[in-house]
Amino acid sequence: MFFAISITDRREDLEYDGGVMTCDSCGAYGRYQIFMVCTVLYLFFIPVWRWNKRYYVETSCCHTVYELDPSVGEAIAGGEQIEIRETDLNRIRKGQQYKKCIYCGYETAEDFDYCPKCGNRF
């Protein structure tokens, strides 16, 4: 008997238009792009269960990544266009100088496109 079950982490971009902000990492004008990472269980290539949802914000200017307060992330995922305050953000990756894998937590200052530990895209 063959069961096609697989579990992977996947990234989903959320709709969010918070307007233009001034980036506190690079000082340029940018926009926030919100995305969610969750663990998905696939059964015969159909996503049947999602859990471990985490929300992140990436700036369009310098690609700094922040961890977003989950309650704010949930609201945006639910379609609310609420304002993101600095207190909702916890910076985990600054620009191009420093990378932390959002999937497994691996940290590197090297310019890898893919995480050397788990193989996911940075």
**Interface ranges with Zn ion (CB under 5 A):** 23, 25-26, 30, 59, 61-62, 101, 103-104, 106, 115, 117-118
Q: Which is nearer to Zn ion, 14 or 21 (CB)?
A: 21
- Minimum gap (Å) between residue 104 Cβ and Zn ion: 3
Q: Which is nearer to Zn ion, 75 or 112 (CB)?
A: 112
Q: Which is nearer to Zn ion, 29 or 49 (CB)?
A: 29
- Minimum gap (Å) between residue 122 Cβ and Zn ion: 8
- Minimum gap (Å) between residue 2 Cβ and Zn ion: 29
3-state secondary structure (DSSP) of residue 76: helix
Token pair 């980036």 is at which residue?
A: 23
Q: Do 88 and 102 meet the contact criterion of CB atoms below 8 Å apart?
A: no
CB contact set of 71 (below 8 Å; sequence gap of 6+): none
70 phi and psi angles, rounded to 5 deg: -60, -30
- Minimum gap (Å) between residue 31 Cβ and Zn ion: 10
Q: How many helices and strands in the chain, by DSSP H and E?
A: 1, 9
